[in-house]
Amino acid sequence: MLSSVATPASDAATRVNRSHEAASRCYTLGIMSLYGQGTRSGWGAIVAAAGVSASAGAAQLGIGYGLGVFSWLPALPDAGQAAWLASLAWTVWISAFSVVLGAVVADRLSGPSVQTSTVVRVLWRVALAISASLGGLLVVALTAIPARGAHRADTFAPHLLVGGYAVAGVLLGLLLAIAALSARAIAANLFATGAWLWLLAVTAAVDSLAAGRDPGVSQLGVWPVTADGPWFRSLYLPGAVIAAVSTLLIGLLAAWPAVRRRDAQAGIVLSGAAGPALVAAAYLLAAPTLDGVAPEQLSAHLIAPYSVVTGLVGAVLAIVVGWPRRPKPVVPAQGRAKPRPLGTPTNPPLAPAAAVPAAAVSTVSATAAEKDTSAPSGTAVSDGSTDAAEQTTAIPTPSAATSADAATGSPSPTRRKPKK
């Protein structure tokens, strides 16, 4: 019967085959994650990203044009410069937010994926963000075409300028979409900020209609509560308070679920600045220099950078307050070691030896004397060690006496005390 003997060459070939199998398995898992599982394929998610992004951009532009939130041909003739800058800021925001919305929704619709490598996950996020950016390009057409009727002294082609701002917003949305797919707290902050901005815009439009005024262009993230201040230098104080409080609360509440899930703290902290940073970037692109900005609009441009700081403070506050603490080990009361004074020996003192009854000692002494007297002449007398052994054997112990009492059922005779 022949036995197979392993050789170094066969071992090397086996290791190579196993490495090839592991590599093919990882590649298969990556492809499964990239293209999805079951009916929810990866191609369907990529198409959904473009569709959701385009739909979100068209819906926001429809609401804005319908309520007069922004317009390239303002109804009020004296609001030309202010309406132009506000509409540019809204264009950047809408195009960027549409890309983020399309990428995140498509990622959620794609369903859970198998565990893959970091490279595959990054490629998947980039693919979704690029697809959503392609869908967000619809905002370029829906803003550039209406802007052809605008009359501007600083440009001969206002529609091309508006289209360039929309493209810049799409690029910002591409970067933010990748960040939102990497950290759920960033996506939550962007969604909450978008909902808050549109709530302010709709509230300002409804307030104008209720007061009987013509609907004017609304600034991004600003609601003029009063018409005459109060003002502090160039800051509109009600608008500054609303912006600071809203970004602080949004940063706190958007980061709270991620804090309870113990997500990465870097993503949680950066999430507080995601929405306010996009608003500040929109204002910065609309007016890189503050020359020519109307006084009533200057406050919004100055408040936007400080809103980023308050958003970061809200996210950090969520970590400080809500981060789960490690439970302290509970020590039972009986198991606590009492403090030992200095100089106390570590080992406990030995228990004292049991006292030998006097009657047993006298019995052993009498027995030994009898043996010495009864021994014949010429007989070798045993040494002291044998006598000590016999004495040790003859000495009863308390435990032996107790066991003997239990066996016989009668108590052993004890020495009675004399009566007085």
Q: Which DSSP string do the residues of 265-288 spell out, in sequence order?
A: HHHHHHHTTHHHHHHHHHHHHH-S
What pLDDT is attached to residue 21?
61
What pLDDT is attached to residue 390?
43
CA distance 38 to 254: 32
What pLDDT is attached to residue 9?
55
Residues 6+ apart with CB under 8 A from 248: 310, 311, 313, 314, 317
CA distance 162 to 147: 7
CA distance 47 to 51: 6
Model confidence at 405: pLDDT above 80: no
CA distance 92 to 57: 11
Cis amide bond preceding 418, omega within 30: no
What pLDDT is attached to residue 105?
93
CA distance 243 to 221: 7
Please tell me the chain's helix, strand, coil percentages from 3-state DSSP, rounded to the nearest 5. Answer: 65, 0, 30
Residues 6+ apart with CB under 8 A from 349: none
pTM above 0.75, yes or no: no
Model confidence at 178: pLDDT above 70: yes
Model confidence at 112: pLDDT above 70: no
Q: What is the pLDDT of residues 1-48, one digit of tens each?
A: 444 444 555 665 666 556 656 555 544 444 444 444 434 467 888 999
Percent of the chain exceeding pLDDT 90 equals 34
Q: What is the pLDDT of residues 206-250, one digit of tens each?
A: 887 887 776 677 888 887 777 777 878 778 888 888 899 999 999
Q: How far is CA 301 from CA 144, 221, 297, in A?
A: 24, 10, 7
Work out the mean pLDDT of the chain and round it to a whole number: 75
CA dihedral 249, 98, 182, 108 (to 10 degrees): 100
Distance of CA 269 to the CA centre of its chain: 10
